[in-house]
Homo-oligomer: A and B are copies of this chain.
Amino acid sequence: MNFYSALRSIQVKNNSLLCIGLDSDLNKIPKHLRSAENPILEFNKQIIEATKDLVCAYKLNLAFYEVLGEKGWHTIKQTLAAIPSDIVTIGDAKRGDIGNTAEMYAKSMREDFGFMASTVNPYMGFDSVEPFIRDESHGAFVLAITSNIGSRDFQHLKARNKPLYEHVIARVKKWNTRQNCGLVVGATRTQELKSIRKLAPTLPLLIPGVGAQGGDLAAAVRYGCDKNGEMAVINSSRGIIYAASGQDFAEAARTAALTLRDEINAIRAKYF
Identify the A interface with B (CB < 8 A): 23, 61, 63-64, 66-67, 69-74, 94-99, 101-102, 104-105, 107-108, 112, 121-129, 143, 146-155, 157-160, 164, 167-168, 171
CA distance A140 to B255 in the complex (A): 42
Q: From residue A176, how far is it (CB to closest CB) to chain B in Å? A: 15
Query: Is there an interface contact between B98 and A125, defined as CB atoms closer than 8 Å?
Result: no
Query: Is there an interface contact between A150 and B124, defined as CB atoms closer than 8 Å?
Result: yes
Note all chain B residues with C-beta closer than 8 A to A171: 153-154
* Pairs A–B under 8 Å by Cβ, sample size 15: A63-B105, A66-B104, A69-B112, A72-B73, A73-B73, A99-B148, A122-B123, A122-B154, A123-B155, A125-B149, A125-B151, A126-B153, A127-B150, A154-B168, A157-B167
Complex copy number for this chain: 2
Q: Which residue of B lies closest to A123 (CB)?
A: B123
The CB with the most chain B CB atoms within 10 A, among A63, A71, A102, A105, is that of A63
Note all chain B residues with C-beta closer than 8 A to A105: 63, 66
Q: For the A-B complex with A98-B146, A124-B143, A128-B150 known, give 20 more contacts whose Cβ atoms are closer than 8 Å.
A: A23-B101, A61-B101, A63-B101, A63-B102, A67-B104, A70-B73, A94-B97, A94-B124, A96-B96, A98-B147, A121-B124, A122-B153, A123-B143, A124-B146, A124-B148, A124-B151, A125-B148, A125-B155, A158-B159, A159-B164
